[in-house]
Structure 1
């Protein structure tokens, strides 16, 4: 009974990335279905030769309140995911940062999420129909902030993985983040190159990137879930340095 009770202790935070991903993904589909169900209207903010709307084109219409709410929840969720992961590593409930460089990159990843999250909230408020210049600026802030956060997170995970290469869950988490973040960054570069010149292709890229961001958010659920059943300090750097790293690395609860 004591073990079962501990496994459920502080379990609510694990659902934060799930909630953020669900709200974000659900909102995207709500906007896409609304556009299709209303006869694929040509919004005021769309170019004359544009047939595939950008997310911001639909979000600037009647669904703007939904979009602002969704972006706010998603941004807060994204920031909290990184803050919680940092706390759980520091408190010895996830594989720890063994060196200062890993803690620095973890902090930089959190800073990137704050910048990206702020950009996401502001771009939803300053829509493309009424404040196009501001909207485009905050869109760039969002993309750059999230990209930097992802890069810093992957670097941090790479160094942690080198210390605990025998931990399978850590390895899977590292590769999931690396692949998803890498693909999204490549698509973001392609989006930047087609947004103005080939608007319909750019629109497709934007929807794919937005949908793909859902999966990046879900990787944090996998990370936070690894703390289930792990006592505070059980995975501390000092404890793992005392020749017990293999035991604790393989003993995390799935």
Structure 2
């Protein structure tokens, strides 16, 4: 079997955030369209605007579980693959121990958030409201921490790297999207108890906004295009060494 040409090998990885974002986005639209086509039925919350969880607890629960499972696993894999590519030298390697630590913490956050997403879909709002709300918090906190750790890790990468501008674009995009979603999550927590219809609208905005956060990993992983295994590690060195970078710049 012929080997995949180097310029195409990055597609082995970038399909993960693309497929994950597509699954999540299409699931949300399918749920919204079905609700609208069903003449906007009122669920447990008895509000004009249905929460995603209300729709997901009805006839579309199989779709909700499937979509949440694929999205949770895909989100986790995005960070794991990025970590593997950095270790293999196809993405910029860690220069300091703290970068590696925060990368691992981001992966753990994604694992927790993904698990919370799966279980909140299984323990639906209609039959297990207490467990559903608990796992919703786990999902939000897990994804939020993962985003914060990823942004911190990226911000510590040395400005002396020739490819620094590409990394800067990635973490600025992540920071803007993550900050916006975290602020909206706080507003959602307040309106959930006081203005249910407003809370439902904000929940839909947060959910669709999460699609764009997942897509930022496409930009991260596509940086491995045309990079041989170990190429960036050989060029810039690994954790604790910046000698090769300074030599190349000089």
Instruction: Tell me if both proteins adopt one fold, taking TM over 0.5 as the criterion.
Output: yes
- What per-residue deviation string (whole Å, max 9, x for no partner) do you get for residues 191-228 of structure 1? 11111111111101100000000000000001000001
- Report if the CA contact (8 A) 2:90-2:229 is conserved: yes
Gap regions ≥5 residues in structure 2: none
Match of 2:83 among 86, 89, 102: 86
Check 1:246–1:227 CA distance in 2 against 1; reply closer, same or farther (3 A cut). Answer: farther
- What per-residue deviation string (whole Å, max 9, x for no partner) do you get for residues 155-174 of structure 1? 00101154537622111101
Distance 2:59 2:199 in 1: 23
Normalised to the residue count of structure 1, the TM-score between the two structures is 0.90
Distance 2:202 2:247 in 1: 43
Distance 1:90 1:127 in 2: 39
- Report if the CA contact (8 A) 2:191-2:199 is conserved: yes
Superposition pairs of residues 51-66 of structure 1, within 5 angstroms: 51-66=48-63
Q: Which residue in 1 is equivalent to 2:213?
A: 216
Q: CA RMSD in A?
A: 2.1
The total of aligned residue pairs comes to 244
Match of 1:232, SS state, is coil
- Report if the CA contact (8 A) 1:161-1:171 is conserved: no
- Report if the CA contact (8 A) 1:166-1:246 is conserved: no
Q: Which residue in 2 is equivalent to 1:251?
A: none
Match of 1:196, SS state, is helix
Q: Which residue in 1 is equivalent to 2:193?
A: 196
Runs ≥4 residues deviating over 6 A: 245-248
Gap regions ≥5 residues in structure 1: 249-254
